[in-house]
Amino acid sequence: MDQLKPKPGNSFPLTPLGFLERAATVYGDCSSVVYDNITYTWSQTYRRCLQLASSLSSVGIETGHVVSIVAPNIPAMYELHFAVPMSGAILNTINTRLDARTISVLLQHSESKLVFVDHLVSALIIEAISLFPTHTKTPRLVVVTDHDDGVKTLDFIDTYENMVRNAMAAVGATNIFLRKIDVPTIYSLIREHGVTHMCGAPVVLNMLSKFPQAEPLDRPVHILTAGAPPPAPVLLRTESLGFIVSHGYGLTETAGVVVSCAWKPHWNMLPATEKARLKARQGVRTIGFTEVDVVDPKTGLGVKRDGLTRGEIVMRGGCVMLGYLKDEESTSKCMRDGWFYSGDVAVLHPDGYIDIKDRSKDVIISGGENISSAEVESILYSHPLIDEAAVVARPDPLWQETPCAFVCLKKELTQKPSEKDIIEYCRGRLPHYMVPKAVVFKQELPKTATGKVQKFVLRDIAKSMLHSRM
């Protein structure tokens, strides 16, 4: 059979660009984008993306060039996900919450030729570009406003993963855009547009479920959560409102969610707390992904499927990144022996489901014992007076590290718990070595644009506390 070789008629990569072209044919007159008072159809979105790609080419953007965007969850972000690859260029999305220095480094490192900037962060980008070394070629800027007819091919995402964006075109669904996470707006958009599917980090689920005016939903809304292990109490409260939570796991390096907690029908008969415990697990590989395993990072051998033995999550499949740009050292560190090493610590349950115990760097090592910050956080979240919690390592001269808890209490409490109360609560529910040695009360926790707690900020605070106390 060796005379049968691939030919032009059967050698095509599967690209999401084809989803859009098909959506324009099949769902041409269905809504694609809803944002404020703007509504586009799939045929309009297709045409706008083609026009935008054509504009990119006309200003000199070529195959392999990098085009950046610094914007929140707005339609321009969606359109550029199609238009930039259409032009042959590479899209680089930059978080609006980064500082000017970091953005400057990212623009220089990626050799961006063009930067699309949301009008609300234009000053930040101008500052970032002013930090370029003198005599360096700087990228051209295109300011994006919500209602700017001057940039006809342009107008306007955040918590959506790349894969979700493209899947919307695959099924011809409507994207509802949000500049920022605002709970009352989210509830009103759900009702107004009959939202069926949404995404949100566990912290967003927590905000939705604790909203005082939250009423049970008129019809079920599927919500995909990822970014951190969702605490069981948060899952319980969210589902009691009528949300159907799916839990997924992935990294930027895997282009989004590649592991999900595939739900088994007979689990529906279990008690609610047991269901929440099962759903808090990251699960199994998604259908299009090749393989996921938990291994001893030293030997590369799979760990026991006992739900106890920790190891590092390793993955392989077509959507794993090629590598880090211009950083062979980091690339070869995580891409080895045919696997991508995630840096995340997990156990494998006897049923083959993965359960993350911690991001490697989030593990607290105290007196030689590994403490999972996620486990401690889960206990803090079960406290009736605690609204949000995050646990990080605090350097300790004796124990090397000890857990330090940051908590936000519920609003309008008549009696606030003390640091000692919280520690006592944990002591009754955790092994002694896992109990936080310090509890810091905060009005709010520092977060990324996607709602993930910025633990590095908390680690800095914990470290400085130690110095001031010593």
> Strand 140-144 vs strand 175-176: parallel, antiparallel, or unpaired?
unpaired
Given the complex with a second copy, which of 81 and 285 has the nearer CB atom? Answer: 285
Decide: is 410 part of the binding site for a second copy (CB under 8 A): no
| E runs forming strands in 210-348 | 221-225, 243-251, 256-260, 284-285, 291-295, 311-316, 335-336, 339-348
Least separation in angstroms between residue 197's CB and a second copy is 17
Decide: is 64 part of the binding site for a second copy (CB under 8 A): yes
Given the complex with a second copy, which of 316 and 463 has the nearer CB atom? Answer: 316
Point out which span in 227-235, 261-269, 376-384, 394-402 binds a second copy (CB under 8 A): 261-269
Place of tokens 């989004």: 256
Query: Reduced to 3 states, what is the DSSP secondary structure of residue 22?
Result: helix
Rounded to 10 deg, the angle between the 373-381 and 419-427 helix axes is 110
Given the complex with a second copy, which of 8 and 133 has the nearer CB atom? Answer: 8
Exposed (0-12), middle (13-18) or buried (19+): which is 331, by Cβ within 10 Å? middle
Among 189, 284, 303, 449, binds a second copy (CB under 8 A): 284
Residues 156-175 that bind a second copy (CB under 8 A): 170
Among 54, 196, 240, 290, binds a second copy (CB under 8 A): 290
Decide: is 240 part of the binding site for a second copy (CB under 8 A): no
Number of H helices, E strands in the chain: 14, 22
Q: What six digits make up the tokens of 326? A: 């211009």
Positive or negative, the CA dihedral 218, 224, 456, 104 is negative
Point out which span in 71-79, 94-102, 279-287, 435-443 binds a second copy (CB under 8 A): 279-287
**Residues 77-96 vs a second copy: string with x where CB under 8 A?**
-------------x------
Could you give the CA distance from residue 96 to residue 68 in angstroms, rounded to a whole number? 12
Decide: is 350 part of the binding site for a second copy (CB under 8 A): no
Residues 16-45 that bind a second copy (CB under 8 A): 18-19, 22, 25-30
The H-assigned helical ranges of 59-93 are: 75-86
If phi over 0 gives left and psi between -120 and 50 gives alpha, with beta otherwise, what is residue 427? Answer: alpha
Decide: is 14 part of the binding site for a second copy (CB under 8 A): yes
| Size, binding site for a second copy by CB under 8 A | 56
Decide: is 408 part of the binding site for a second copy (CB under 8 A): no
Given the complex with a second copy, which of 322 and 470 has the nearer CB atom? Answer: 322
Decide: is 428 part of the binding site for a second copy (CB under 8 A): no
| Phi, psi (rounded to 5 degrees) for 455 | -65, -25
Residues 304-343 that bind a second copy (CB under 8 A): 315-323, 325-326, 328, 335-340
Decide: is 265 part of the binding site for a second copy (CB under 8 A): yes
Q: Please give the C-alpha separations between residue 261 and each of 101, 212, 232, 328, in angstroms, as whole numbers.
A: 38, 29, 14, 33
Least separation in angstroms between residue 335's CB and a second copy is 5
Given the complex with a second copy, which of 185 and 330 has the nearer CB atom? Answer: 330
Could you give the CA distance from residue 281 to residue 231 in angstroms, rounded to a whole number? 10
Least separation in angstroms between residue 320's CB and a second copy is 4
Decide: is 46 part of the binding site for a second copy (CB under 8 A): no
Among 288, 307, 367, 431, binds a second copy (CB under 8 A): 288
Task: Note the Cα 421 to chain centre separation in Å.
Answer: 33
| E runs forming strands in 278-399 | 284-285, 291-295, 311-316, 335-336, 339-348, 354-359, 364-366, 369-371, 386-396
Least separation in angstroms between residue 115's CB and a second copy is 18
Could you give the CA distance from residue 48 to residue 329 in angstroms, rounded to a whole number? 40
Given the complex with a second copy, which of 208 and 245 has the nearer CB atom? Answer: 245
Decide: is 418 part of the binding site for a second copy (CB under 8 A): no
Decide: is 270 part of the binding site for a second copy (CB under 8 A): no
Least separation in angstroms between residue 360's CB and a second copy is 18
Point out which span in 242-250, 268-276, 281-289, 437-445 binds a second copy (CB under 8 A): 281-289
Decide: is 352 part of the binding site for a second copy (CB under 8 A): yes
If phi over 0 gives left and psi between -120 and 50 gives alpha, with beta otherwise, what is residue 242? Answer: left
Note whether 285 and 292 are within 8 A (CB).
Answer: yes
Decide: is 351 part of the binding site for a second copy (CB under 8 A): yes
Residues within the interface to a second copy (CB under 8 A): 1-14, 18-19, 22, 25-30, 64, 90, 170, 262, 264-266, 284-285, 287-288, 290-291, 315-323, 325-326, 328, 335-340, 351-352
